[in-house]
Amino acid sequence: MEYRKLGSLDVSAIGLGTLRTFDVTDDDEIAVRRRIVDNCLKSDVNLIDTAAWYGHAEQVVGEITEDLRDQFYIATKVRTEGKAAGEAQIARSFELLKTGYIDLFQVHNMIDWQTHLPTLERLKGEGKVGMVGVSAMVPDAYPTIMDLMRQRRVDAVQIPYNVLNRSAEDEVLPLAEELGTGVLVMEPLQKGRYVLELKQQPDLTPLRDYGINTWAQALLAWVISDRRVSSAIPTTSRPERVQENAQAAAAAELPQPFRDYIRSEAERCL
Ligand SMILES: NC(=O)c1ccc[n+]([C@@H]2O[C@H](COP(=O)([O-])OP(=O)(O)OC[C@H]3O[C@@H](n4cnc5c(N)ncnc54)[C@H](OP(=O)(O)O)[C@@H]3O)[C@@H](O)[C@H]2O)c1
């Protein structure tokens, strides 16, 4: 596994997302998520991203990582409106995640960020939060995000960035590099669509020397071979895919011509 700086942390270049996949309550389903987390440990994946908004995901992550807290960096998000509601949701995240310290606390999709950032900044000052961040799904939010980056109010941003969605490339990623802001990449597989909705099978032959054996690995390698990315955080409900996805980190130094090849295969096959 390749580790990269996210603030003072060394995070795995492939992390784990929990949207949809960790919103489970059934014991058998929770047991599968336990295997997913076990496979993160086996694959040296040390970053888990979740959110208050993801149904039961924080609770499931909290139950599974309670005795493994020192093995993972935990990122979560607040998403509500108003100071009191924000503070209550943030307090609940600490409870559900069964921890007194959250490594990265983000404002989800910038919702009511003017209210929540001061709360998170206070918690950072109190040592309960390691880093403050924001997530945003649409380029309309990028000017505000970049202002916050320049003002050094955020340590990390979470944005979509993948082979066919390169809106962060023009300004956000260069600024992150200049300022040393952490970058988490959401939806590296476009919610799985880029793997499931292929019209033709991509030819992986030229990528095999880089340890890329599946199309999902190619897509992830494309993302993390941009060195401005701290971690791509694909999610899965299948334990074996954790290892498959983590192995994409072997291609973290993929040269640009191979990135271009993956992009042209994506354009041909999607
Ligand atoms: N606004 C925000 O802040 C925001 C928005 C979106 C996402 N996020 C974060 O980013 C994370 C990732 O985004 P995402 O979950 O939407 O999408 P994603 O990671 O791009 O795609 C996840 C989907 O891809 C499939 N998949 C994973 N590995 C695979 C593989 N090796 N081969 C084939 N299919 C594979 C999974 O299906 P299976 O379960 O069948 O494996 C899952 O449905 C989220 O979990 C969340 O933590 C944040």
- Closest C-alpha to ligand 1, atom 21: 191
Cα–Cα distance, 104 to 129 (Å, whole number): 6
For residue 242, CA distances in Å to 11, 15, 44, 67 come to 16, 9, 10, 20
Cα–Cα distance, 235 to 240 (Å, whole number): 12
Q: Which atom of ligand 1 is the closest one to the Cα of 108?
A: 3
Q: Mean pLDDT over all residues of the chain?
A: 97
pLDDT digits (tens, 9 = 90+) for 148-204: 999 999 999 999 999 999 999 999 999 999 999 999 999 999 999 999 999 999 999
- pLDDT at residue 8 tops 90: no
Confidence of residue 10 (pLDDT cuts 50, 70, 90): very high
For residue 63, CA distances in Å to 40, 59, 212 come to 16, 6, 33
pTM as predicted: 0.98
Q: What is the pLDDT of residue 7?
A: 87
Q: Does the C-beta of 14 come closer than 6 Å to ligand 1?
A: no
- pLDDT at residue 64 tops 90: yes
Cα–Cα distance, 135 to 157 (Å, whole number): 6
Cα–Cα distance, 42 to 68 (Å, whole number): 13
Q: Burial-class residue 257 by CB neighbours within 10 Å (0-12, 13-18, 19+).
A: exposed
The pLDDT of 60-67, averaged and rounded, is 97
Cα–Cα distance, 38 to 239 (Å, whole number): 8
Q: What is the pLDDT of residue 199?
A: 95
Of the residues 195, 236, 244, which should be mutated to test ligand 1's pocket, given the most ligand atoms within 8 Å of the CB?
236
The CA 187 to ligand 1 mean position distance, Å, reads 5
Nearest residue to 2 via CA among 253, 259, 187, 173: 253
The pLDDT of 239-264, averaged and rounded, is 97
Q: What is the pLDDT of residue 206?
A: 97
- pLDDT at residue 19 tops 90: yes
Q: What is the pLDDT of residue 250?
A: 94
In one-letter notation, the amino acid at residue 134 is V
CATH fold group of domain 3-190+229-236? TIM Barrel (3.20.20)
Cα–Cα distance, 56 to 206 (Å, whole number): 41
Of the residues 61, 73, 74, 189, which should be mutated to test ligand 1's pocket, given the most ligand atoms within 8 Å of the CB?
189
Nearest residue to 265 via CA among 224, 204, 223: 204
Pair type for strands 3-6 and 9-12: antiparallel
Nearest residue to 75 via CA among 240, 252, 238, 231: 231
Q: Check if the beta carbon of residue 44 is closer than 8 Å to that of residue 14.
A: no
Pair type for strands 182-186 and 231-232: parallel
- The ranges assigned to domains in the chain are 3-190+229-236
Dihedral pair phi/psi, residue 35, rounded to 5°: -70, -35
pLDDT digits (tens, 9 = 90+) for 205-235: 999 999 999 999 999 999 999 999 999 999 9
Q: Does the C-beta of 198 come closer than 6 Å to ligand 1?
A: no
